[in-house]
Amino acid sequence: MELEYVNETIGKKVKNLRNRNGLTLQELADRTELTKGFLSQLERGQVSPSVVTLLDLIECLGVTPAEFFAEEEQKQVVFSEEGYFEKVDDNGNSIQWVVPSAQGNQMEPLLVTIMPHQTLEEDKPHNGEEFGYLISGRINLYLGDKVYHVKAGESFYYPATEIHRIANPGSRPAKLIWVSTPPSF
């Protein structure tokens, strides 16, 4: 590994931890008895800290040396159909979880197909919001005591604080992207 790469990597980690802890350069300098200028150069990868200095910094930033030097796990960004999980009900309606394990995230995107003249199960009021984009067909969105008619190319967005459900009044399947926050399925 080249020294420049090592310095840049250490500098980025120090800066990220400093920011995560809400510290200014001056506050970290005061805690470590290093100068603000040295820390600035360190964060930009322009200087190499001694082992003792780096261990002191790591301790002041609230992590262990093992945590500091651990390789960051790359999170999956792109998902393919092979990884989707699908649930098909007795009427042929389909819900596909297009981001596996999205329940741990802040939102949960679904690909939903509703067969002609079918209605999805009613969703009880809950905290959060829901968004949908109708790819094809048409649907009726029942939100509380109101009905909204949605056609292909239109979207909907609402707080999920009322009883809600989606129905397909048409003679062709309706396909939509549905995003719920927080995940509820």
The confidence score (pLDDT) of residue 174 equals 98
Number of other CB atoms surrounding residue 142 within 10 Å: 19
Q: Is 70 exceeded by the pLDDT of residue 185?
A: no
DSSP H or E stretch at residue 184: none
Residue 1 has pLDDT above 60, yes or no: no
Architecture of the domain defined by 81-181: Sandwich (2.60)
Q: What is the arithmetic mean of pLDDT over 7-30?
A: 90
pTM of the model: 0.61
Q: Where in the chain do CATH 1.10.260.40 domains reside?
A: 3-69
Domain with CATH 2.60.120.10 in the chain: 81-181
pLDDT higher at 73 or 105 = 105
Do 151 and 133 form a contact (C-beta atoms < 8 A)? no
Tell me the two tokens of residue 46. 């322009």
Question: What one-letter code names the amino acid at 15?
Answer: K
Instruction: Determine the topology of domain 3-69 in CATH.
Output: 434 Repressor (Amino-terminal Domain) (1.10.260)
DSSP secondary-structure letter at 2? -
Is 11 in a helix, a strand, or coil? helix
Note whether 162 and 94 are within 8 A (CB).
no
pLDDT tens readout for residues 49-98 = 999 999 999 998 989 999 888 876 667 788 888 888 899 999 999 999 99
Rounded to an integer, the average pLDDT of 2-6 is: 80
What is the average pLDDT across 43-48? 92
For the stretch 114-146, pLDDT in tens is 999 999 999 889 899 999 999 999 999 999 999
Task: Read off the pLDDT of each residue in 4-29 and give the average, rounded to a whole number.
Answer: 89
Percentage of residues in the chain having pLDDT higher than 90: 60
d(CA 21, CA 14): 11
Instruction: Taking each helix axis as running N to C, give the angle between helix 51-60 and helix 25-32, from 0 to 180 degrees, rounded to the nearest 10.
Output: 120
- Chain centroid to CA 97: 14
Res 90: pLDDT: 93
Average the pLDDT over 110-117 and give the result.
Answer: 97
